[in-house]
Every structure is written in C-alpha cells, then in structure tokens.
Structure 1
Amino acid sequence: MKKLMPLVLAAGMLLGAANGASAIDFKAKGQWLMGFAAGDGQFMSEKRDGNKTSKPDSSDVFDARQRVHLQLEAVASESLSGTVFFEIGDQLWGQDSTGGALGADSGSVVELKRAYIDWTVPNSDLKFRMGIQGITMPNVAGGSAVLDDDAAGIVASCRFNENVGLSAFWVRLFNDNWNASSAADRWTADGGANYHDNVDLFSLMLPLTFDGVKVTPWAMYGMVGANAWDAMDNDMHKGSYPAYTLRPYPLASSGGVRDTGKAYGSVFWAGLPIAVTAFDPLNIELDINYGYVESMGRYEAIKYNTMDVVRGDTKREGWLVKALVEYKLDWGTPGIFGWYSSGDDGNVKNGSERMPTLSGCGNFMSFMGDGNYGWGDGRLYDKNLTYAGTWGVGLRLHDLSFVDDLKHSFRVAYWGGTNSPSMAKYVSTSYGWNNQTPEGPYLTTNDGLVEFNLVNSCQIYENLEANLELGYIINLVDDDTWKRSYRNDSYQKQDAWKAQLILAYKF
C-alpha cells in the first residue's frame, strides 16, 4: 500500500483543488494492459568459449505481466492546463521486486511518466509546454529513429497561418548524476561531483502544410558533458540507451573508454520527413535523417581473432533513409516499405559510420520494433529501434477485415547489414548479432534476417481489445564471416519466435 501513496496523494490534491476552484475542469483517462507472452528472442542457442559451453539466455519461455497508465488533467481554459501521468508497473506476475508475488505489497511499482503545464501567451498564438513530457522528433515512414521518449524541458510552438508553423525546444536529458570519485582522471572541480555531467538538446522544427503535402524540416544541436557518460552508462531504463546509441557500441563494449580532456562534446541531427497524400487513396512517405557525435576520447577494441588491442575513436556519424508507399482499398491497405542506413567501414580508428541516436522507436515491424503495442516481455520486443547499420525491404497488409470488430495486419521484411564484414573480428557474438545490444543485431553486409509478423485485433467491447501478435525471424547470419573472426569463440545459431496476447482496456 505504501508504494501507492504518491498516486493517492496526487489524486487527493487534485480532488481537493476541485472543491476550492470550481472553474477547473478535471479529466482522467488511462489504460490497463494485461500481457501473456511466450517465445525466445535470442539468435544464439549455445555459445562456446574455449572449453566452456553456456546458454546465452536462460530466461523462462513464458511470462505474464501487467501495467496501468493513469493520466489526470486540470483544465482551466483552452489557454491553460496541467497534466500528470503515472505508470503503475510493469508488474511481472509472481515477481516480488515488481510487486507481483504473493501478497502483492512489495516492489517499486509507481512511476511518474510525465508532469507538465500547457499555456498560451495572452492575445497570441504562442504556446508553451513546460515539464516532463513526451519528446518525438518529426517523422514519417517507420517512426522516429532519433528520439521518441519522455524528457524534461520546454517546448514552444506557434502557427503563423494554415501553411506555416514553427516549434522549438530545450530539453535536459541528464544532469547531476555523476560522482567524481568514480573517475578521478576526468573533468573535476573542487569536490568534483556533478561537474560537466549535463546533456542538453536544442531544436528547431518548421512544419509546412500544403494541399496534399506535409514537410517538416528540423535540426537539433546538443552538448554532452565529459562526465555525463557515466550517468548514461548506468541509465539502462525503459528503452533509453544513449550510452550505447551515441558511442560506437558494440565495438566499445570490449574495452574501457579513455575520456577526453574536452569539457563538452557536440552532437547534431537533422531530418526531413515528407508525406504526400495528394493522390489519395495513395499515400507516400519519405524520411531522411543525419546524425553526428563529436569524438570524446578513444576506446580499446579487441581483435578476437588475434586478441590484439586497437585504439578506436568514439566519433560517430551516419545517415538513414526510410520510405513507405501504400494504397487504401475497401478490404485493407497493402503497402511496401524500406530503409537504408550507413554502416561501419571496417576501420575503428576513424570512429563509427552508423547514425547515432538517443532513444528511437522504429515501427515498420512489431518483433524488432514498436509496430504493435510496443510493450510486453523485454526479451521479445523492440529489438531494433534505430535501423543503424542495417537496410531492409518489406511488404505489409494493414487492417484486413472480414468479420466485424476483427482486424488483421500481416508484414514480412528482409533485414540486411551495411557494416563491413571485417568488423566481425571486433564484435563479440554476445553483443553483436545475438540481439543483446539496445539497437538490435549488429549485421554485416554478409548477414541477413527474414521477419514475419501477424497481428490480430478483436474489439470485444468499445473500450476493451484483445490483441494477439505472432512473430518469427529466420536467422541468416553468415557463419563464415563470424566464426572465422574468432579464436576461442564459437556458437550455435537459432531462429527467434514470439506469441503474445495483450488485453487492453482504455478509458
């Protein structure tokens, strides 16, 4: 019960305010999710290191879990409102640490997802949102590969006319999380704690809307403190993994990073999403992204075939193009999609050529991606959120319906790699193509995967949905490329599969 006290107190404050300020309109909405999943998301069934044999993933095949989202709004007028958004869970059934074991009274289960105010400058069209909020970079065709997550900051937006608008934001991803005693050779002041450990982003977005065409060019600059990397390395939380997706991981996972003498490093992204609906029912989407992270020191990369150590550069720079073409028919919406991202060139000394990201949510597919609910067993979803170092092409049939209140979506895609095969000697199989890294499998130009998704959605009641997702990935990783790159490391590969049922109640 004590774990629910923050939520109870917040609700009490809102209800108490209702008595003292009758002009405030209070609204509540939320979502209950109950998930039951079985599967194996690993691409490796066995790993042998010398004479030692191990199973990369010994987790249970099946688990059950639940999550509750509760959003409360206090609306004073169209020009002023406040929102608080709680998440209760994930709670794994039977797990004590998440409150799902017998008694259900332990574990930290209540989290603050968002808390912000919306207000408009009087007598103007300038709007502000301040606080912890959802930040998503403009995107089409497969979701944002750069940033789609919750963060604290300020967003300003203004609509000049029906065709032109402008948005800008400042968000602070990290600050005051560093303990100087953990790395005495880095930037320090007197005492040293929380010094040069902030990560700040600044962005401009220009939404342009014309008849049948929407274009939103955007650019984002950021500054990363030299001591912020420690905080990011320890922030393996809720799918946000900038320590991995900004630096040249999984290459740098083999050895420690030697930090630079620079106080701050620069990061930069730019994007151009284009949506064309002028030829309705034909829909065309194209999304172009570029990203850059300044070098902030070097790291030790191990050549697994010789065990030599090479000093690699932490610079990371790359690009990504995504596209979707679909045609809406009475019985469903068939479409074709694809993407291509730059990959590593084989030389660790000049950094990584994969596009850096912050917290992407690619959604072309629902096994390696967020294409369905994007929630469930962590071993069985979100296996590639950024498309970094990959290319792919796929077909999909959306919203097939032959019976009232029952819809189906089918997708198939081929995933290839754009990284040089010579990079295999620097990447441990545990952190490479075996789905262990947050970005998904590290694939070379010799590797491939074939993914199948089938999502069935049944509307039981107006507010209750049953969602059954089936997924399978055929593992076409090239054994010659990877096994020849190792001296004492070998493996047995396997396909990946999942079956997941979600009951979703929304109000």
Structure 2
Amino acid sequence: MRGKPLFAALLLITALAGQAVAATEVKMAGDARVYGVFFANRNFTGWNEDGTQTEDRLTIWQRLRLRSDFVANENLKFRFGLRVDDQAWGHDYLTAANPQVAIEPYLAYLQFKWPGTDIEVTAGYQPLSVPHTEVFYDSIVLAADDGDQSSAALHLNIPVSENLSVQAAYARLLAANRTYQPTTTQVGDAFDTYQLALPVTVEGFSATPWGLLGVYGKGSDPEDLFANGLRAAGSSLSTSGYPYKDNQNAMWWAGLALTVDAADPFKFFFDGIYGDAAPADRERNRRRGWFLDAGVTYSGFDWMLPGVFGWVASGEDGSIANGSERLPVITPKWGPGTSFLFDCDQEFANNNMGVDPTGTWGLAGSLRDVSFIEALKSRLTVAVIAGTNSVAGLRKAVVATGGVGQYVTMGRNLAQGEWLVGVNFDHSYAITEQLTLTVQTGFATPQGLKTSIWGHRFTQQAENAFMGSVGFLYTF
C-alpha cells in the first residue's frame, strides 16, 4: 500500500511528460539516501530535550528526492519536486504493509523572464533565503536548505548592470486559517515577509546588502513552529492565549554578506546581521539582537581546502521583563566547516547536535576535500563554542517557560561560562560516479554546565556525545 502514492505520482509525471508539446523538454534529477546513525547522548544526557524520554541509540533512515523540470525554452520553465522525507525504518510509512501516504511536494514553482527584458520572475513554492556567505552554508535567519525548506513566494531578479542587480521577494510563510477566520473576531493569522537585496559584484569582490521585513499575526502560528526562534521567554507570561498584545507585529532584519577573493588563493568571508522582532509590542515580548561571522579559506592545495572561521552574537541579559537580546531567527541553517555541532550541510540528517548559534561566540577550523586516494575524500572539523547569554537570564527563561527543553535546552543554548568542543571526521568514497559510500563520526564534550540554570538532574546526567553514521547516497 505504501508504494501506491509514489507509483501514482510517477504515473502523473509520465503522463504530463507524454502530453507535453514537442518543444517542451522534461528533465528529471534527484537523490536517494539510506543510512544508519548511532548516536549516544545526543542532548548530552541520553534523554530528549525536556528529559521525559530515553533515546534509542541506533536508527536506520532513508529518504528520496525527485525533481522534474518542464522546460519550454531558456526563458520559461516549471520545476516540480516530490519527496519521501527522512524517516526511520519500522516507523510511519516505513512499517510493513503500512498504508500511510508518504510522498509530498516540496517544490512547485514557475520561472520565466519577462518578454523583452532580463527580469526573471519566480513564482510558487520555491527555495527562498536571505543572503549569507557560502562558506557558512545558508542563512541563520531564513534559509532554504538546498530546497528542503521552501516558501510560497514571488521573487524578482532585476539586472541593473553587469555588476548590480535588484532582488525583491514577497512570501507568505504561514496562514493559519486560510480564507476564513474561525470566529467573527478578526485575529492576525498570517506571517508575511518582504525582502530586498542588492548584490554587487566586481572583480575580486562581491557584497550583498539586504533587508527583510515581516508582518507576524499573533494568531498565525498556533502550533508554535517558529516560537523558539522569534519570541522572547517573557512571551510565555501572557494569560490571553496569544504571545503578543498587538494583533500584528512588525519584524525586521538588515544585513551584509561580503566575499573577497582578490587575494586568491585566499578567500575571505564576512556577514553582519541585526534583527528586531515585535518592537512595538510589550517590552517583554520583544526580541532583538545581532550576529557576526567571518572566515577565510585557502585553495592553493589541489588535495585539500583548509578554512578558519569565527563568530560572535549578542546574548540574553539578566532580565526577561525587557524581552530577549538574541537575534530573532525563522528557519536557520548555518554552520562553519560542516561542524556536526550545528544543523547545516551534512550529507545525512539526524546526525548533528543541533546547537543554537545565537547567544554564542566560537572558533572552528576545517580541512575539507582531503584526498590522497582516488575516489576517497575526507573532512576534519574542530569547533569550540561558548555562551554569551547571562546565567540569570537563562535561569529565568527556564522558569518562565515551564522547564528545561521548552524554550532553551541544556547543551544547545549556552550561558556565559558554558562551552562545548566538537570534532567530526567524515569520509566519502565514490563507488561509482553516482553512488557514494559515506561514513561520518562525531564527538562533543560539554564543559561548565550551570546547575543553577538546568538543575542537578540534568547536569549530573551530562556526558560526552558520540555519533557514527554510515550510508549510501545515490544521485541521478
């Protein structure tokens, strides 16, 4: 039964391809991944975030992505993507004779150039992120994660010259009630964003200043999908059932992504971001802060790409009555050197520590694409991360939000005096041109965990974390 939705989708694509006019070209591509993950003390405790469940250390996962491009010509095309998302063997749709629907669309957008111009329009469910330098994978504010975190959006790319373009986008990230409200009392139930970026590229240098404006209805996120990234701990003190006083709240971000390669083979990267969420609401509901990162890579070796990275971010002060002092984020996917401390560009999912980089500072070094043997590439990354959050601020946040793991989590949100060391050593062997065997290992150790924040139960349980994963990656 579980194969019927996928079979039906493939029949639909085949039918569409067969009915396409002769001038339309249909291209398909995708990937399949099957992998096992051994993870001991994922949250440094062997429990889930709030300490109510015990982990299973070995899980086998698989996923599928299929992308189809319907290309009329170089100026008009449509992309349709289907996925069978990462799921564990023996669970959900991967159980014996399970009838659950597994397949879902994750891309569906039209892309064309306005006739007689070079203006490119992209409309539909598409990858949408704010600019961030490539060395940190994706944005810490709003990321697309290589298409896995799509948004319903309209995007315009308007070339002004060969060195400058204007990029503008509108996206509706949430619409809790679609067309009609559940009652006759109007409540803001949508989360809309408006984005502007001005990429400038000259020889040896590129810079992209950007801005993002959000309008967040106080009833737009009933499932609290974005709560921990956008809200302050003080919002939990609301007795009205909504986190905000105002029906709609403005949220804004401004940033700069800068890349310099004039000193080739050295390449330099820098990002600076400031954000402010709900500035006109009650002070306890406001969240505002900043984030800076920088890195340098050296491409002078043909057998290795070394890099050094650093970052620093604002942290919570000692009060929750004045809101949060951390950068507000929507869908972050950020990490230096593919460090397994962060959820970023790992080849497999479910094998990273998921540390929150807001409210921290840190340093990382990586040796990427290390290759002494044909078809074998390795990656070694070491990262040290420490907290910039006030101990008192995190302690009050734990109390206000109902306990550890509700808003902040031990080992993922770090206070001043708390720090982590993470090491991962990863390998990919090309069995064929399209099939890769990947092995990843990771180790993380916590230091200075504060009993006054997390309590004796959590800190006494804390131990080092170990991860090992192995699997196959097939691209087609």
- Residues 169 and 258 of structure 1: CA distance in aligned 2, closer, same or farther (over 3 Å): closer
Equivalent in the alignment of 1:363: 335
SS in 1 for 2:94: coil
Which residue does 1:333 correspond to in 2? 305
Deviation at 1:487, TM superposition (A): 9.0
CA contact (8 A) 1:18 1:24 kept: no
Q: Which residue of 1 aligns with 2:436?
A: 465
Residue 476 of structure 1 aligns with an amino acid whose one-letter code is Q
Percentage identity across paired residues of the two chains: 26
Residue 448 (structure 1) aligned with residue 419 (structure 2): yes
The runs of 5 or more residues in structure 2 that have no matched partner are 144-148
2: distance between equivalents of 1:493 and 1:24? 58
2:348 alignment partner, one of 351, 355, 375: 375
Paired residue type of 2:127? G
Q: In the alignment, which of 377, 382, 391 is matched to residue 412 of structure 1?
A: 382
Separation in 1, partners of 2:206, 2:290: 22
Aligned to 1:306: none
The match for 1:304 is none
Contact 2:288 2:327 in 1 (8 A): yes
The structural deviation recorded for 1:331 is 2.9
Opposite residue 128 of structure 2, the aligned amino acid is: I
**3-state SS of paired residue (2:255):** strand
Distance in 1 of aligned mates of 2:314 and 2:242: 26
Residue 146, structure 1, aligned to residue 141, structure 2? yes
Q: 1:490 to 1:412 in 2, by over 3 A?
A: closer
Runs of 5+ unmatched residues, structure 1: 48-53, 181-187, 236-241, 299-311
- Equivalent residue number for residue 18 of structure 2: 18
What does residue 492 of structure 1 align with? Answer: 461
Tell me the equivalent position of 1:135. 128
Within a 5 Å distance, the mapping from 1:73-88 to structure 2 comes to: 73-88=69-84
User: Cα 1:433–1:244, aligned 2, differ >3 Å: closer, same or farther?
Assistant: same
| Residue of structure 2 in register with 1:62 after alignment | 58
Q: Which one of 81, 94, 99 corresponds to residue 100 of structure 1?
A: 94
> Does structure 1 conserve the Cα–Cα contact (< 8 Å) formed by 2:398 and 2:407?
no
Partner of 1:206: 198
Pairing partner for 1:398 from 352, 368, 374 = 368
Tell me, yes or no, if structure 1 residue 354 matches structure 2 residue 346.
Answer: no
Q: Which amino acid aligns with 1:244?
A: N
**What is the Cα deviation at residue 417 of structure 1?**
0.3
TM-score by length of structure 1 reads 0.84
> What residue number does 2:267 align with?
283
Spell out, residue by residue over 1:188-219, the C-alpha distance to the aligned partner (whole angstroms, 9 max, x if none): 895348x4200000011111000110101100
The RMSD of aligned alpha carbons is 3.0
Q: Retained in 2: the 8 A contact 1:435–1:441?
A: no
Is the alpha carbon distance of 1:463 and 1:33 closer, same or farther for their aligned partners in structure 2, counting shifts above 3 Å? same
Contact 2:371 2:378 (8 Å CA) reproduced: yes
Report the equivalent of 2:146: none
For 1:218 and 1:138, how far apart are their aligned partners in 2? 7
**Does the 8 Å CA contact 1:432/1:442 hold for their aligned counterparts?**
no
Contact 1:259/1:297 (<8 A) preserved: no
Instruction: Using the TM superposition, give the Cα deviation of residue 501 of structure 1 relative to its aligned residue in structure 2, in angstroms.
Output: 1.3
Contact kept? 1:36, 1:64, Cα under 8 Å: yes
* Preserved contact between residue 297 and residue 307 of structure 2 (Cα < 8 Å): yes
User: Which deviations, in whole Å up to 9, do the C-alpha atoms of 1:249-269 show, x marking residues without a partner?
Assistant: 5x7568866544422100001
- Tell me the distance in 2 between the aligned counterparts of 1:63 and 1:177: 36
* Residue-pair matches, total: 463
Following superposition, the deviation at residue 437 of structure 1 comes to 5.3
Question: Match for 1:288: what amino acid?
Answer: G
User: Which residue in 2 is equivalent to 1:308?
Assistant: none
Which of the residues 320, 324, 335 maps onto 2:291? 320
Following TM superposition, by how much is the alpha carbon of 1:178 offset from its aligned partner in structure 2, in angstroms?
A: 8.2
Equivalent residues in 2 for 1:117-136 (5 A)? 117-136=110-129
In structure 2, what is the equivalent of residue 239 of structure 1?
A: none
Q: Residue 111 of structure 1 aligns with which residue?
A: 104
CA contact (8 A) 2:219 2:242 kept: no
* Offset, 1:29: 0.3
> 1:57 offset after TM fit, Å?
4.2
Deviation at 1:354, TM superposition (A): 0.3
Flag the 1:179–1:445 CA change in 2: closer, same or farther, 3 A.
farther
Q: Determine helix, strand or coil for the equivalent of 2:54.
A: coil
CA distance in 1, matches of 2:391, 2:446: 17
* Match in the other structure for 1:309: none
From 256, 263, 267, the equivalent of 1:272 is: 256
> In structure 1, what residue type is equivalent to 2:201?
T
Q: Secondary structure at the match of 1:272?
A: strand
Displacement of 1:102: 1.9
d(CA) in 2 for partners of 1:152, 1:223: 15
**Equivalent residues in 2 for 1:146-185 (5 A)?**
146-148=141-143, 149-177=149-177
- How big is the shift at 1:336? 1.0
Query: What CA distance in whole angstroms lies between the structure 2 residues aligned with 1:424 and 1:61?
Result: 29
The 3-state SS of whatever aligns with 1:461 is coil
Distance in 1, matches of 2:125 and 2:96, equals 34
CA distance in 2: counterparts of 1:44 and 1:436, whole angstroms: 17
Q: Is the 8 A contact 1:68 1:89 kept in 2?
A: yes
Match of 2:85 among 77, 82, 89: 89
| TM-fit CA distance, 1:158 | 1.6
**Cα 1:455–1:350 shift into 2, 3 Å:** same
Q: CA deviation at 1:396?
A: 1.1
8 A Cα contact 1:7 1:110, kept in partner = no
Q: Give the whole-Å Cα distance in 1 for the aligned partners of 2:392 and 2:60.
A: 41
- What is residue 243 of structure 1 aligned with on the other side? 227
Q: Which residue of 1 aligns with 2:209?
A: 217
